[in-house]
Chain A
Amino acid sequence: MSNNLFLRGVLLLGFALLMFKLIVTGQIQQLIAPKMFPFIYFAMSVLFILGIIQIWRSDHKENAVYCECGHHEKKHPFQSLIVSVLFIVPVITGLMFSSQVLDSSVAAKRGVQIGRQPENNVSSDDGTQYLTELSQNETEKKPIEKSMNKKQLTEALTSTKKVVFTNENYLAILEIIHNNVKRFTGKEIELVGFVYREPDFVKEKAVIARFVVTCCVADASVYGMLASGEQLKQLNNDEWVKVTGIIDKTNYKGNILPCIKIKTVKKVKQPNEPYIHDTAL
């Protein structure tokens, strides 16, 4: 069995190396959400240690375990070759091919959520009620901070003239604006995202969208805001832009939704962190 042990050790080391390289080059960000990084560090260390132990074990035949625990059935050589290939392929493709940032072709297949609407009307009523109370009291201006809860954020947003999306607050801001279209109409807005158009969109219309990743890119979903303006004409799908404009209302498929009336569009480089991560958990 010693040969298999050596091979297995090499494969375990291979996975540890793959993880290490992805972490060092920062590519891991395009695969896994930051909150899962500790698990990756843990897995990398364990795989590294196991790999070393396996290789060491392959040199000491007396240590081979023979018991009924179900691991040690004899396998046909062809079968074990297939199994080895299964483990070799991801290490090699992972080391060789850099990961692809998800784009509008994926977005089209998954469907784009325009805004983040509440599931039922009850809570949005609560929201408007809360906002009317708020407007009566006219709170003082509050800066928008990273660590705000939704209530504080709503407060801060209603008192500012200009709504600026951040990576940390992207989903929350989107939700608040879509729940309180009336309150936010007329406010200035600024956000960064990629251009996405449904097949039936005209050239002056687009969704400024971002992928939201919870754990890994397999669970990515797409959220964005409608935008319209002449300036969009020269932009293609997947181009990253920084958009400023005024929030307006529009009727989209029978729903009243906020829509950005574009003032300026600036092409920007794809951000280092292309995905939004839901950080609240």
Chain B
Amino acid sequence: MKRAISNAANDFFAFVLLLLFLYLFFFYGMSNIKFTLPKEWAIVNTMFLSIILEAIPFILVGVFVSAIIQTFISEDTLRRWLPKNPYVAIVSAAFFGIIFPVCECAIIPIVRRLIKKGMPPAAGMTFLISAPIINPVVFASTYYAFQQKNEIAFARIGLAFLVAVLVGLIMYRLFQQKNPLKTKISSSHEHVHTTNKWKETLYHASDEFFDTGKYLLIGAFFTSLLQTFLNRNELLQIGTNELVSPLVMMGFAYMLSLCSEADAFVAASFGHAFSAGAILAFLVYGAMLDLKNTMMLFAYFRARFVVAFILVLTCAVYFVILLYQTIFVSL
């Protein structure tokens, strides 16, 4: 009885909401009544909308691929495709992005689904951080943004590969085959409820859109605040030193949460202020991890696992960048 009432209340709420949306859509702006925001908040709103509109298509791609894997690929099939040896699996996972050019928004639901289906978690994390960089689209945009200095594009791919494999191996040593997900890994997942597989895919996709979407929205909101209020000149002045500047740039990339396709253009606009090492730190770290997708990671993975992953990834990127600087600067 109580449930029925709350259901009715919810339905009523949803119905009112629908009317409100339709009213705003058709009539708002026609009349003279118009609300405006103070300018800075109007910019926050613009940034926020722009980030979510940009991300939604890719989240949708991610949840659809995930839903299709869920519905059409069985655990056994996946197991047959993946290399048996965990080390081989980790190294080959670093190349999946070449076939599967997905960005950092779309990759998280896909990897989560693959791990649920029995992919070794370490290989999953390698795929998660390599796909947004080791893929043809991102290579092309980086190459274009750094036309004058195209070794950046090659170095970005190379360093990303090293980091991805390194992180995969360390995560394997730390967690072995332990389930990193919040939900159970299914051994034999049988779908008895619907007969129509396409319908099922659609249902899964829209459910997952909400699961992922809420974290995207929170992340996008904080990002839009930083995008509006953070003074970049001051931040960029903190570190021009070889050891500090990669760290500053990693932090900067984390906060900006740019798409891996667009970040190269922003990095190129920093111009002379930074060394190649610092620019690469920005390009490698930012595409693998940022504010927006940290939220999404916490949605799907156990907190301990995420924290360990972030620490390992951060150290790995920093280490690899320092290595790059020692080798190439001394040459």
Find out whether the CB atom of A43 lies under 8 angstroms from the CB atom of B207. Answer: no
Interface residues of B in 168-217 (CB under 8 A from A): 181-184, 186, 189, 191, 193-194, 199-200, 202-211, 213-214, 217
Q: How far is the CA of A105 from the CA of B44 in the complex (A)?
A: 13
Find out whether the CB atom of A70 lies under 8 angstroms from the CB atom of B21. Answer: no
Find out whether the CB atom of B28 lies under 8 angstroms from the CB atom of A96. Answer: yes
Contact string against A for B residues 21-47, beta-carbon threshold 8 Å, 1 for contact and 0 otherwise: 110110011000001110110110111
Interface residues of A in 76-134 (CB under 8 A from B): 77, 83, 86-88, 90-100, 102-103, 105-106, 108-111, 113, 117-120, 123
Find out whether the CB atom of B50 lies under 8 angstroms from the CB atom of A218. Answer: yes
Find out whether the CB atom of B14 lies under 8 angstroms from the CB atom of A6. Answer: yes
Contact string against A for B residues 238-264, beta-carbon threshold 8 Å, 1 for contact and 0 otherwise: 000000000000000000111101110
Find out whether the CB atom of A50 lies under 8 angstroms from the CB atom of B17. Answer: no
Find out whether the CB atom of B193 lies under 8 angstroms from the CB atom of A215. Answer: no
**Would you call B87 an interface residue if the criterion is a C-beta within 8 Å of the partner chain's C-beta atoms?**
no
Interface residues of B in 229-284 (CB under 8 A from A): 229-233, 236, 256-259, 261-263, 265-266, 269, 271-272
Q: Tell me which residues across on chain B come within 8 A of A77, comparing CB atoms.
A: 6
Q: How far is the CA of A223 from the CA of B22 in the complex (A)?
A: 40
Q: How far is the CA of A22 from the CA of B25 in the complex (A)?
A: 10
Q: Tell me which residues across on chain B come within 8 A of A88, comparing CB atoms.
A: 17
Find out whether the CB atom of A281 lies under 8 angstroms from the CB atom of B204. Answer: no
Find out whether the CB atom of B46 lies under 8 angstroms from the CB atom of A221. Answer: no
Q: How far is the CA of A223 from the CA of B266 in the complex (A)?
A: 12
Q: Is the interface of A mostly helix, strand, loop or mixed?
A: helix
Interface residues of A in 215-232 (CB under 8 A from B): 215-219, 221, 223
Find out whether the CB atom of B25 lies under 8 angstroms from the CB atom of A21. Answer: yes
**Would you call B70 an interface residue if the criterion is a C-beta within 8 Å of the partner chain's C-beta atoms?**
yes
In the complex, how many residues of chain B place their beta carbon closer than 8 angstroms to a beta carbon of chain A? 93
For residue A222, which residue of chain B has the nearest CB?
A: B269
Cβ of A66 to closest chain B Cβ, rounded Å: 6
Q: Tell me which residues across on chain A come within 8 A of B70, comparing CB atoms.
A: 69
For residue B193, which residue of chain A has the nearest CB?
A: A65
Contact string against B for A residues 5-24, beta-carbon threshold 8 Å, 1 for contact and 0 otherwise: 01111111111011111100
Q: Tell me which residues across on chain B come within 8 A of A239, comparing CB atoms.
A: none
Which of A67, A113, A281 has the largest number of chain B CB atoms within 10 A?
A67
Q: Tell me which residues across on chain A come within 8 A of B28, comparing CB atoms.
A: 95-96
Find out whether the CB atom of B271 lies under 8 angstroms from the CB atom of A39. Answer: no
Find out whether the CB atom of B146 lies under 8 angstroms from the CB atom of A214. Answer: no
Q: Which of A28-36, A138-146, A265-273 contacts B (4 or more CB under 8 A)?
A: A28-36
Q: How far is the CA of A93 from the CA of B208 in the complex (A)?
A: 24
Q: How far is the CA of A30 from the CA of B53 in the complex (A)?
A: 12
Cβ of B124 to closest chain A Cβ, rounded Å: 15
Find out whether the CB atom of B194 lies under 8 angstroms from the CB atom of A65. Answer: yes
Q: Tell me which residues across on chain B come within 8 A of A83, comparing CB atoms.
A: 210, 214
Q: Tell me which residues across on chain B come within 8 A of A87, comparing CB atoms.
A: 210, 213-214, 217
**Would you call B158 an interface residue if the criterion is a C-beta within 8 Å of the partner chain's C-beta atoms?**
no
**Would you call A169 an interface residue if the criterion is a C-beta within 8 Å of the partner chain's C-beta atoms?**
no
Cβ of A99 to closest chain B Cβ, rounded Å: 4
Find out whether the CB atom of B13 lies under 8 angstroms from the CB atom of A31. Answer: no
Indicate whether A13 sits within 8 Å of B11 (C-beta atoms), given known contacts A19-B53, A36-B54: no
Q: Tell me which residues across on chain B come within 8 A of A74, comparing CB atoms.
A: none
Find out whether the CB atom of B149 lies under 8 angstroms from the CB atom of A110. Answer: no
Find out whether the CB atom of B58 lies under 8 angstroms from the CB atom of A10. Answer: no
Q: Tell me which residues across on chain A come within 8 A of B271, comparing CB atoms.
A: 113, 117, 119
A278: which of B36, B140, B189, B265 is its contact (CB, 8 Å)? B265
Closest 3 CB pairs of A and B: A3-B10, A100-B42, A39-B57
Question: What are 6 A-B residue pairs whose CB atoms fall within 8 Å in the complex?
Answer: A30-B46, A43-B60, A50-B205, A50-B209, A63-B203, A113-B271
Taking beta carbons and an 8 Å cutoff, which residues of B are in contact with A? Answer: 6-7, 10-11, 13-15, 17-18, 20-22, 24-25, 28-29, 35-37, 39-40, 42-43, 45-54, 56-58, 60, 64, 70, 116, 140-141, 144, 146, 148-149, 181-184, 186, 189, 191, 193-194, 199-200, 202-211, 213-214, 217-218, 223-224, 227-233, 236, 256-259, 261-263, 265-266, 269, 271-272
